[in-house]
Structure 1
Amino acid sequence: MPKTSARLLTLLSLLQARRDWPGQALAERLEVSPRTVRRDVDRLRELGYPVAATKGPDGGYRLDAGTELPPLLFDDDQAVALAVALQTVTSTGAGIQEAAARALNTVRQVMPARLRHRVDALRVTAVGRAGTGPDPEADSRVLMTLGAAVQAREVLRFDYTRASVPGASGASGAPGALGADRDTAEVRRAEPHHLVTWGGRWYLVAWDLDRDDWRTFRVDRITPRTPTGPRFTPRELPGGEVAAFVADRFQGSDGSGGRPCTGEVILDLPASVVSAYTRDGVVEELGPDRCRLVLGAWSWPGLAAGLGRFDADIQVVGPTELKDAFALLARRYAAAATDGPAGTSAPPLSR
């Protein structure tokens, strides 16, 4: 029979993992008698855990919510996941960054050394808001490998799978087409700088040794090779801030800190509605059901298409390029609705 303290921790872990437990099932898992289970449940109650007894032929136990927060118990994977989530809380826009930092420090202090090492290796920067679409999941083992290489400053060699259709995302980090076939892989060498999240996806910011330039790689497309390469002296990231660098790359920045195409419109929607779906724009209330929006994008047609998603009447304040983009999209959409070819008489839209 395990010692009482160890048995209590095991019992607590079981109660946290499943809502209802028959008493006999707990006794079998703990290799003790049902009477011992009852005594252990009483001990947990004395420690502040609200364990409720359930009635029925077999009887059982359930860990309910209480009036105070008792000590919690996490397995290794849960503890690492919690630490990563606390690091990425800035992407929620909830205004709890300081509290999250304190919670992360508290969790880290009570972690065993092996878990502290894993958490310290997996330093993450959250850029932008969380995504809303079904994005591919990054393998936790790959994340740990990349995080360790970032911390150790070791050159990475990896297979990078790229989309095989035009417009799908590649190493530059530009968003790609959903559902693209990914059957083209190539070997890459890079100096890893940082792990970031953007729009619900994981990315590795690194200096590409073969392209001699900075790149952002999607983690779900990386297959690391072992062993890692030699240690390197970190280069200075353009602008110095990883969050600003990644945001500029995804927004198509021309290097001046902004996006190359910025327009101003008036929308027949409340400012509160537009703000909820605007990541980086400036929203000004003009009335209960009207607002001004200044927004940027990587191209004029892209900006016009993004504004059209609000499903409201739009008045273009400027510039002329944005009006031309709306006119071009109108012809294309009209042609698509009639299965006819889009007109080609529109002037080219420069970036």
Structure 2
Amino acid sequence: MAIAKAERLMNLALCLRGTARPLTKRELRTSIEAYIEAGSEDAFNRMFERDKDDLRELGMVIDTVESLDGEVGYMARRDSNRLPPITLDVAESAALSLAARVWQQARLAGAASGALQKLRAAGMPLADDGQERTHALEPRVPAGEAAFEPLMLACRDRRPVTFGYRKSNAVRAETRQVEPWALECWRGHWYLAGWDRDRGDKRVFRLSRIDGKVRSRSGSFTVPVPGQVAVREAVAAWAGENATDRARIRLRSGSGYPLRARALSCRALDAEWDELEIPYGHGLGSWLAEFGPDVLVLDPAELRADVVERLRAVAKG
């Protein structure tokens, strides 16, 4: 459901629930901007009937009332559309607040803020309401990539997409055709898991490497979407979470704290360098390359070659 339609449904729901008497289609058409711009009467009637059916499918009870002069009106009585009391524990409250912050740099930031305000108005204490915090640091999940919102909508609506993607060891981006499954955040970076049609296999894409616009394609998915747990496992495995081996690296003193946090062992070599043993899995080469001259891979040889190749590609670009 596109954002424009979601906004139209919300406006219709507010009109039907906020009225003290049944509203006719004529009155609704002059009250909701999207209906005013609908064009012909037939186009408005089709749009209104679809919207009314969608609201009922979402659980809204809409009464149809016929007046004495035979004109039909619609309203959603408050007593028929009242939600049960909402109760949130501390963890659920924190999760809601964090989820809203994901949208702080996206187009729906206002909607997320409005949703939190409504929960507060209903008496729900949220994690950012001035309560005593359980952690000194406030968690934040940025969503600044331009590809985030169109991919999120494509995942929700099950729409295939195309986009340019530049691998870390490539100079130029290449076009990818993907059936998007889900977005996952890992170590502060957003990843898309999905089915790569050209390669005929599941793939994981880092959003910061998507080049240009994400474009939607017509048609439906060709393979089943796996469960959320399986998608998270795919992202973790691609990004190096599920390590199957060990690597030995040199790390400049006073740098690379994320690497130190994952180190299996660490010893000082001299005043400038430390030697670390870290878990080695798929995606480690990409991560190590981000530390540039502060990291030197000792072994295995294939990891060292991978990092060198990625750094050379960056230097050429």
Range of TM-score over shorter length: 0.3 to 0.5
TM-score by length of structure 2 reads: 0.38
